Amino acid sequence: MAAIERTAYPRFKPSLTANELQDLYCPTAEERDFISTQARGATQQLTLLTLLKCHQHLGYLPSLAEVPDQIRTYLCPQLNLFPLRYESVDAEKTVYRYRQLIRTYLEIKPYGESGQDLVETAVAQAASTMSDPADLINLAVEHLVQQRFELPAFSTLDRLVMHIRHRVHQDLYTRITASLRPAERERLDGLLQVRDGRTDFNRLKDTPRQATLTHLRQWTTRLTWLESILPTRPFLTAIANTKVQQFAAEAAALDVGDLRDLSTQSRRYSLLICFLYQAQVQTRDELVEMLLKRMRRTTTAAKKQLKELQDQHRELEEQMLAVFADVINETIHTPEDKASSRIKLPI
């Protein structure tokens, strides 16, 4: 069962500020007229107004016992009433009539079969890509509100969503394993067998270590081993990547005994295929990352060595440039000196 706190299902806050009370529960002039024409006594008017404003805020009618006293205390002055309670209201008869009045006034349709059909269609379509039950419940609430349906009880919505999600998953398990051959099933079963005190399933959970040359070779061997077990991609071509990741995470959270105890073979094989596929993808990515780290380290070391060599030869280069400058200077001035000497000789 999904926690209601993790969903967008409307519910009362523990406490409300003055501004929140004003924004959410202040009746309009039209609503005051509606209350005055549909309820006669003070208690009846307070009850109808409370249910109306709560329905507007929540999308469903709560029981009067669930309404916080803070809301009732705020609404009494809005009707020029002293603080009242609901004890004198015939809950079963009056609240039923008020429910019909509010639905008509707000143009809200009862949940019923039409609302359930709407939820089943929307959730069944989304469950093939979405995984979190809370997200599916939020989707159902959104569709019901958009189509002007009254929200059912949270427990009703939660049970329906979980049932649809289970049905969609069973269909996905069947699709994943439809073309799985007996020899491939044996390979998957072999992942759960203990060899040398350890199962291959637990080997799939290994994480990479430092990007040393030894570990790089080990991870290359690991990738070769993983790809030799089963070519997983053909089984997952029609499955959304989000579902593959979800099934892989579900398998990673289980131990070998839990997987063996799964009553449905199609589910066990599907979880193993998705987990193996995820291991293949991650190992390939990790291998590339290790290689890139090695290349970065090599490049950094080469740059450092090059700078050291440049520093070592800089003094020699400066000396050679100084000598070269003297040679050029001598070459430039020598012809002029000789020409001057020839002019001073007697004719």
What pLDDT digit, counting tens, does each position of 85-144 carry? 555 445 567 788 899 999 999 999 999 999 999 999 999 999 999 888 999 999 999 999
Angle, alpha carbons 340-342-347 (nearest 5°): 130
| pLDDT tens, residue by residue, 44-63 | 888 899 999 999 999 999 98
Q: Residue 339: its pLDDT value, please?
A: 47
Q: Where are the domains of the chain?
A: 4-106, 112-177, 182-301
From CA 93, how far away is CA 321, in angstroms rounded?
A: 108
Summarised one tens digit per residue, pLDDT across range 215-236 is 888 888 999 999 999 999 999 9
Task: Give residue 184's pLDDT.
Answer: 93
Regions in the chain scoring below 70 on pLDDT: 1, 82-92, 333-347
